[in-house]
């Protein structure tokens, strides 16, 4: 019987998805993909109408896209409470939502302009856009830093998926010139995650 497949690339969300899937010891085949490549795009659209990774393709051919949904399924399948099922679930979802609507839109502009765009274009970044999103990133990193002042992990007293989600950008933050050194609790939290299996090198051996 064929196994489920996780399609991924080295970029932000697929990196997160591979790291957490491997942390959960999910029984998957991992397939590297380039869904934006003109030769792969149309075929990939059948897996995900957004033509993006990650995508989980089950053994029966059905697909699930969006990192958070994939991790929800893999966590349930593993019988793990990384994706909280109890009274801590709303708190976990608070951080997933906050990351999607606030932290990531501010930070991923810097990831894209400083890490991704230079690989295919020399169009310069727009200073107004960089300044505005940097100010937002600083404000939101401050919120996270304050929260972590009195907590080891984001939700309750143990690692949850929220910890991975808020740290999506962290492995790329210095290269993206995001001022994370101004946020000691965020750095401490990132160092804790670095000690979690697969977070530092999700692609080892794939």
Ligand X SMILES: N[C@@H](CCC(=O)N[C@@H](CS)C(=O)NCC(=O)O)C(=O)O
Backbone angles phi, psi at 6, to 5 degrees: -110, 115
Give how far Cα 78 sits from Cα of 3, 48, 74, 125, 157, Å. 15, 24, 6, 43, 21
Minimum gap (Å) between residue 157 Cβ and ligand X: 27
Nearest to 66 by CA among 43, 48, 79, 44: 48
3-class secondary-structure state, position 40: helix
Minimum gap (Å) between residue 17 Cβ and ligand X: 7
Nearest to 65 by CA among 80, 81, 47, 82: 47
- Within 183-202, the residues that bind ligand X by CB under 6 A are none
The answer to whether 63 touches 78, Cβ cutoff 8 Å, is no
- Within 32-61, the residues that bind ligand X by CB under 6 A are 34-36, 52-54
* Binding piece for ligand X, criterion CB under 6 A, among 12-20, 72-80, 173-181, 184-192: 12-20
Minimum gap (Å) between residue 9 Cβ and ligand X: 3
Binding residues for ligand X, rule CB under 6 A, total: 13
- Within 63-82, the residues that bind ligand X by CB under 6 A are 66-67
Q: Does 13 bind ligand X (CB under 6 A)?
A: yes
Residue selected from 9, 89, 185, 192 as contacting ligand X according to rule CB under 6 A: 9
The answer to whether 134 touches 110, Cβ cutoff 8 Å, is yes
| Binding site residues, ligand X, CB under 6 A | 9, 11-14, 34-36, 52-54, 66-67
């Amino acid at each position: 019987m064929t196994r489920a497949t996780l399609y991924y690339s080295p970029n932000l969300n697929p990196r997160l998805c591979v790291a957490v899937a491997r942390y959960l010891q999910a029984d998957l085949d991992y397939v590297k993909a380039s869904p934006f490549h003109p030769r792969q795009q149309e075929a990939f659209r059948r897996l995900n109408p957004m033509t993006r990774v990650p995508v989980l393709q089950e053994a029966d051919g059905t697909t699930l896209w969006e990192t958070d949904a994939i991790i929800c399924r893999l966590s349930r399948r593993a019988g793990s409470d990384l994706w909280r099922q109890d009274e801590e679930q709303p708190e976990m979802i608070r951080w997933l939502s906050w990351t999607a609507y606030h932290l990531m839109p501010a930070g991923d502009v810097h990831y894209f302009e400083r890490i991704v765009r230079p690989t295919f274009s020399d169009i310069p970044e727009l200073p107004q856009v960089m300044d505005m999103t940097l100010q937002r990133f600083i404000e939101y990193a401050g919120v996270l830093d304050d929260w972590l002042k009195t907590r080891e992990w984001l939700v309750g007293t143990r690692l949850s998926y929220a910890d991975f989600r808020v740290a999506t950008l962290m492995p790329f933050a210095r290269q993206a010139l995001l001022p994370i050194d101004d946020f000691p609790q965020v750095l401490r939290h990132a160092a804790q995650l670095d000690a979690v299996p697969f977070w530092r090198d999700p692609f080892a051996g794939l």
